[in-house]
Structure 1
Amino acid sequence: MADLQAIIQYLCHLMAKFAHDEVVPNRQSEQGKKEQVAEMFNSIAFRYDFLNRFLTAGVDIQWRKKAIRQLQSLQPKLVLDVATGTGDVAIMTHRMLQTEKIIGIDISEGMLALGREKLTKLGLHDAIELQTGDSETINFPDQHFDAITVAYGVRNFANLDKGLAEMYRVLKPGGKLVVLEFSRPSQPLFRKLCDFYTNVVTPGVGGLFAKNKDAYQYLNDSVQAFPEGQNFLNIMHDAGFTQTYLKKLSFGICTIYCGSK
């Protein structure tokens, strides 16, 4: 019986792991997930930061700060920010931890262009560099970074296993990965309210302000399919990370996941 339970748990683990990879912005498109996600973020880049603040009532700023604080004891000097978008986490990490250098990578040129405009206004080009880059083929040598951050990006990976394996590869021994991602509350009533908000309100607002309802519907669908909680910690462990743990924020609307090398 114990063996059967172990097999069932393993199969559930695999199903949760790979269901995420199948969620795409447009099921009718012949493009792969990676290309679709890049185009989607290019199309909503001009409203992305505004809608993040608007849809979360500004709480997302506090979520990012709490995630970055997981690196305080490490005091990393060289940091990689994967799926950096417009560079919010990279900028905040530099300010909070006084890093020497942060490299931000993203597949969306539209998001990166806005991020570079921010860096110019803030005079941070020497401290932060934004590059076109893919989480599945990170263009840096093994054991290169002291720490890696990913905020609201892992659920957009075309291949979650490969993305985590690449981040593990470029992380130095003793280094730490911090992932910030949306999740679903466990309390039933609150969960239903959140589902209504993400299923109805978020796509509606995205259609109104970003002129792309489908993009925000995909963002919701990707949250629903993401292998959250202990499932994601198990996947991190499969990729080689140790000392894994999670911290739920705002009753489980968002979760911080951490792992070390």
Structure 2
Amino acid sequence: MSDMGDRQGSDNTTHFGFKTVREDEKAQRVAEVFHSVAAKYDLMNDLMSGGIHRLWKRFTIELSGVRSGNRVLDIAGGTGDLTLKFSRLVGPEGQVVLADINDSMLKVGRDRLLDRGVAGNVTFVQADAEALPFPDNHFDCITIAFGLRNVTHKERAIESMLRVLKPGGRLLVLEFSKPNNPLLSKVYDKYSFNVLPVMGKLITNDSESYRYLAESIRMHPDQETLKAMMEDAGFVRVSYHNMTGGIVALHRGIKP
């Protein structure tokens, strides 16, 4: 499956879930989704995944190779799950930047981390993944967990991440992907389009946002397509690990 969201013709339109919208409209619509769900985001993640998202994130941390003194960028860091772990790994000599384009998510993440006593080595930046406001060759590791599918121009974002990584630095993309079993795929589709919107309605009084999230997962590039996009941007030794039958994949690439 090609990344139609990035290459939807020359009329400056893109995908917002299954809808076609103007490119300048998409960012605002995605922002509205996350403004709506920010307060209950963690609860919904636990309910939607049965808590398995914590295992996916733990594997991401393990594969990151982050150690004391490193500089880490957590893009689309939301409520700060990865940032919390990274802040402990890098220690007082290191630095973690939690970046999110959405102000509501950033505030929830900042409040949550401050409540847990995380302060000294973490900074919070409202930033667009397509145009990261950081110098070249700056970070040892970048993670983006469940955020890339919401980016309008994914190639631009991947190139921007490459630019701000140090040579030898690692990018890890944790994202919903394509199940590798047809039966699992059918079950997953029914769950996504029938159960998620109902759950969203009950927990956040917002079924439409969760319908969008289900649709955005289907429009995201499959494992091989995303691997090729990372290689095209300039990453080397790109690999991916399927988790939970390919429902989620973790891609990893190195800046040469």
**1:229 equivalent in alignment to 2:218:** no
**Aligned residue for 2:254?**
260
Q: Which amino acid aligns with 1:24?
A: F
Task: Kindly state the Cα deviation for residue 13 of structure 1 after the two structures are TM-superposed.
Answer: 4.6
2:183 aligned partner: 189
Aligned to 1:5: none
In structure 2, the partner of 1:71 is: 64
Match of 1:52 among 31, 45, 53: 45
Residues 76, 223 of structure 1: alpha-carbon distance in 2 compared, 3 angstrom cutoff: farther
Determine if contact 2:174/2:250 at 8 Å carries over to the other structure: yes
Q: Does residue 14 of structure 2 align to residue 22 of structure 1?
A: yes
Secondary structure at the aligned position of 1:243 is classed as strand
Alpha-carbon distance in structure 1 between the residues aligned to 2:69 and 2:151: 25
Q: In the aligned structure 2, how far is the partner of 1:54 from the partner of 1:258?
A: 27
- The one-letter code matched in structure 2 to 1:32 is E
| % identical aligned pairs | 33
Distance in 2 between residues matched to 1:14 and 1:117, nearest whole Å = 35
Q: 1:208 aligns with which of 178, 202, 205?
A: 202
CA distance in 2, matches of 1:168, 1:114: 28
Structure-2 residue corresponding to 1:134: 128
Q: How far apart are the structure 1 equivalents of 2:238 and 2:141?
A: 14
Per the normalisation by structure 1, the TM-score is 0.89
**Residue in structure 1 matched with residue 31 of structure 2 by the alignment:** 38
Supply the distance in 1 between the matched residues of 2:250 and 2:183 (Cα, whole angstroms). 22
Judged with a 3 Å threshold, the aligned counterparts in structure 2 of structure 1 residues 38 and 103 are, in CA distance, closer, same or farther, namely same
Q: 1:202–1:216: 8 Å Cα contact kept in structure 2?
A: yes
Length-normalised TM-score, structure 2: 0.90
Q: Which residue of 2 aligns with 1:167?
A: 161
Distance 1:139 1:193 in 2: 41
Q: Is 1:148 aligned with 2:148?
A: no
Distance in 2 between residues matched to 1:233 and 1:28, nearest whole Å: 25
Structure 2 unmatched runs, 5+: none
Match of 1:84 among 53, 77, 84: 77
Question: Is 1:102 equivalent to 2:96 in the alignment?
Answer: yes
* Secondary structure in 1 matching 2:54: helix
State the secondary structure of the residue aligned to 2:133: coil
